[in-house]
Copies of this chain bind each other. A is one copy, B any other.
């Protein structure tokens, strides 16, 4: 399943020598292959790049002069995520989890799983471990948290959202991740190009580590229910949004509203009713 996607970002740099760290390029991963891509900086500037080994995130830094900075990224990406029947997606207890996924059981800045223990157990403790629990969390968030801009901000965390009950995709993902972790399910934040998102924008979803038909794997979920999990092209994977900001300027900078796009090549009728496995541990 191929996708053409990209973004165009514009900045008004106020001082010479302003560093920018970007994370907007599609990952190359087991189930996601970048077939072709192009990144254009205007003005043309040298950049330093790094792919984080444990996540596959592709970061690059450039140092911009005062004035206008424009970045345009385009790519064609092939997704081969494996689909798994929902009833075959089960939980994996701490005694069996691969040690390298424990990182995603620990609380993080915006996902304070250590403060949600009783809430999570009383609300979701009766669900079957595995898909049923993660899906139950997404359902609860969908039912009880309003998707609404302007209510949350960059400091808002899962502990706020669970009570304040409004936010955007980032807040939905943070709350779902925190609740999964509290219940012993490793979970991580994923920024993505998301088919069917309307209006198009960078999207935030999450992955939970569950036992599929091939053993422990990461399955992708969208707590907002606004995208199809099978049509998500992953950019960054992290403990939470702190780790995968699409742009971090180090200095005073204005910015244009980002343009983001993605369309499926030769098809547009995703409607997945199976689990989407993205990777093994």
Interface-facing stretch out of A102-110, A131-139, A201-209, A254-262: A102-110
Residue A94 at the B interface, CB < 8 A?
A: yes
Residue-by-residue, is A49-93 near B (CB-CB < 8 Å gives 1, otherwise 0)?
110111000011101000000000000000000000000000001
Q: How many residues of A contact B (CB 8 A)?
A: 49
Tell me whether B146 and A118 are in contact (CB under 8 A): yes
Residue A122 at the B interface, CB < 8 A?
A: yes
The A interface, classified by DSSP as helix, strand, loop or mixed, is mixed
Residues of B within 8 A of A61 (CB): 94-95, 99
Tell me whether A108 and B242 are in contact (CB under 8 A): yes
Tell me whether B165 and A119 are in contact (CB under 8 A): yes
Tell me whether B63 and A95 are in contact (CB under 8 A): yes
Residue A36 at the B interface, CB < 8 A?
A: no
Residue A17 at the B interface, CB < 8 A?
A: yes
Using A155-B115, A159-B163, A163-B116 as known contacts, say yes or no to A99 and B50 having CB atoms under 8 A apart.
Answer: yes
Tell me whether B52 and A100 are in contact (CB under 8 A): yes
